[in-house]
Structure 1
Amino acid sequence: MDQGNTAFILIAAALVLLMTPGLAFFYGGLVKAKSVISMMMMSFGAMGLMGVLWVLYGYSIAFPATDEGATQVPWTIDFANLGLTGALEAPEGAAYPPLAFVAFQATFAIITVALVSGAIADRAKFGAWMVFAAIWATVVYFPVASWVFNFGLAEDGSFAYGGWITHGLQDVFGVGAIDFAGGTAVHINAGAAALALALVLGKRVGFQKGAHVPHNPPFVLLGAGLLWFGWFGFNAGSELAADNTAALAFVNTIAAPAAALLAWLIVEKIKDGKPTSVGAASGAVAGLVAITPACASLDPIWAIVLGLIAGAVCALSIELKFKLGFDDSLDVVGIHLVGGLIGTLYLGIFARGTGLIESGSINQLLVQAIAAFTVLVYSFVLAFVIGFAVEKTIGFRVKNEDEIAGIDTVVHGEEGYVLSDTRG
Structure 2
Amino acid sequence: MRRVASLALPALVVLAAEPLYVLVDTAVVGHLGRTQLAGLAIGGSVMSFAVWLGTVLAYGTTGRAARRFGAGQRAEAVEEGVQASWLALAGGLTILVVLEAVAGPLTRVLAGGAGAVADSAAGWLRIAALGAPGLMLGTAGNGWMRGVQDTRRPLYYVLAANALSAALCPLLVYSAGLGLTGSAVANVTAQTVVGLLFVRALVTENVALRPRPAVIGRQLALGRDLLLRGAAFQACFLSASAVAARFGDAALAAHQIAIQLFFFTALALDALAIAAQALIGAALGGDRVAEARHLARRITLSGLLAGGAFAALVAAALLAVRPWFGADPEVYSQARHAWWFFVAMMPAAGVVFALDGIFLGAGDVRYLRNLTLVSALGGFLPGIWLAYLLDLGLRGVWAALTLFIVLRLAGLLYRLTGDAWAVAGAVR
TM-score of the aligned structures, taking structure 1 as reference length: 0.33
TM-score of the aligned structures, taking structure 2 as reference length: 0.33
In terms of fraction of residues, the more helix-rich structure is: 2
